[in-house]
Chain A
Amino acid sequence: MTTNKKSEIDPRGPRFGATITSVLLLVVIWLSLDSASLPAALILFEVLAFLFALGAVLGTSRTPYAFIFRKLIRPRLKPPSYLEDSKPPQFAQGVGLFVTLIGLTLYFGGVTSGILFAAVAAFIAAFLNAAFNLCLGCQLYLVLRRLSSRN
């Protein structure tokens, strides 16, 4: 998940991705509320898990979101006032992948509301990133590592 090569990215790129992610997660939440549309929620949620995996493995600058950002959004913006390291958002995509995988595991284990709960958790994180520029996964790296080192 991590590479030694330090690469710098426009910080507005991951934020743009987080905006799309949070909208799609809201759609998942809405679809998962009705058992008739639950299969649709599952498909969209799986797509989101795949997108999180792309971001976590390849980095946030090689996702479809980043492609759209570069082609359509960035040409209309001023140059960024600063660049940021690509590692934190990539790590956060991994956290997003982890949360969506928990939801999918619960769903296929028979707990169909797992999708709703995981989508709510992921939505809050993506929304905080998009609206408040708070990278929850990054912020909590030390907490997450302490929890994982106990097991």
Chain B
Amino acid sequence: MVIGIVLTAAVLAGAVWLILRGRVRQSGSAEQIDLSTLGLPTGSFRGLGESATLFLFSTDFCATCPGVERAYLELLATRPWAKLIKIDLTNRNDLAVRFHVLQTPTTFVLNSRSNLVARIGGAPKLLALTKLLDDLAVGASHSYAI
């Protein structure tokens, strides 16, 4: 009886996690991210994408982050107007607090004006992210033909 309840709870927890994990949550406020707080140079910083930038927050203790990074690099290989910036939070608790990052990987999607347009907790649902990135490219009228 107790074993059954525990097993059911564990399976349910896993199922909920699978559903919620990696949803692309669009941000209503479109807060502008101050790049200097991340230790990134401001102005015409070359690391940012023309239309979109992904900030991938990770730590040394994140098992899935390298896989997510590989998926992003693959995704961005055909989208030169978008760039990936990795931010290691292992020793930067201040940044984790500042940006309310409670799990790794967490991804921020920034548009061409460094506004936060979406955040993703956990390994992303790649289809939704791809659509958002392509929308940002069109919105910034840098559409890219393959």
Binding site for B on A (CB under 8 A): 2, 11, 26, 29-30, 33, 82, 84-85, 87-89, 91-92, 120, 123-124, 127-128, 131-132, 134-135, 137-143, 145-146, 149
Q: Is the interface of A mostly helix, strand, loop or mixed?
A: helix
Is B66's CB under 8 angstroms from A149's CB?
A: no
Closest A residue to B2 by beta carbon equals: A33
The answer to the question of B31 belonging to the interface, with a C-beta cut-off of 8 Å to chain A, is no
The answer to the question of B111 belonging to the interface, with a C-beta cut-off of 8 Å to chain A, is no
Instruction: Evaluate whether A135 and B63 lie within 8 angstroms (CB atoms) in the complex, with A140-B103, A142-B89, A143-B103 already known.
Output: yes
Q: A131-B10, A139-B103, A142-B101 are in contact. List 18 more A-B contacts (CB 8 A).
A: A26-B6, A29-B3, A33-B2, A84-B67, A88-B60, A88-B61, A88-B63, A123-B10, A124-B13, A128-B10, A132-B18, A139-B104, A141-B104, A142-B89, A142-B96, A142-B103, A142-B104, A143-B103
Is A124's CB under 8 angstroms from B62's CB?
A: no
Q: Number of B residues contacting the other chain (C-beta, 8 Å)? A: 29
Q: Which residues of B contact A132 (CB under 8 A)?
A: 14, 17-18
With beta carbons under 8 angstroms apart, the residue of A123, A128, A141 that contacts B17 is: A128
Complex alpha-carbon distance, A123 and B14, angstroms: 13
Is A141's CB under 8 angstroms from B14's CB?
A: no
Q: Which residues of A contact B122 (CB under 8 A)?
A: 139
CB distance from A107 to the nearest CB of B (A): 18
Q: Which residues of A contact B18 (CB under 8 A)?
A: 132
The answer to the question of B97 belonging to the interface, with a C-beta cut-off of 8 Å to chain A, is yes
Q: Which residues of B contact A142 (CB under 8 A)?
A: 59, 89, 93, 96, 101-104
CB distance from B69 to the nearest CB of A (A): 12
Is A143's CB under 8 angstroms from B102's CB?
A: yes
Q: Which residues of A contact B64 (CB under 8 A)?
A: 135, 138
With beta carbons under 8 angstroms apart, the residue of A26, A29, A91, A124 that contacts B61 is: A91
Complex alpha-carbon distance, A145 and B91, angstroms: 10
Q: Which residues of B contact A85 (CB under 8 A)?
A: 60, 63, 66
Is A141's CB under 8 angstroms from B10's CB?
A: no
Is B60's CB under 8 angstroms from A87's CB?
A: yes
Q: Which residues of A contact B89 (CB under 8 A)?
A: 142
CB distance from B93 to the nearest CB of A (A): 6
Instruction: Evaluate whether A30 and B3 lie within 8 angstroms (CB atoms) in the complex, with A87-B60, A146-B97 already known.
Output: yes
**Residue among B63, B96, B102, B104 having the largest count of chain A Cβ atoms under 10 Å:** B63
> Hey, what's the 0/1 contact readout for B1-37 against A, CB within 8 Å counting as 1?
0110011011101100110000000000000000000
Complex alpha-carbon distance, A41 and B9, angstroms: 21
Is A84's CB under 8 angstroms from B66's CB?
A: yes
Closest A residue to B122 by beta carbon equals: A139
> Hey, what's the 0/1 contact readout for B78-115 against A, CB within 8 Å counting as 1?
00000000000100010011000111100000000000
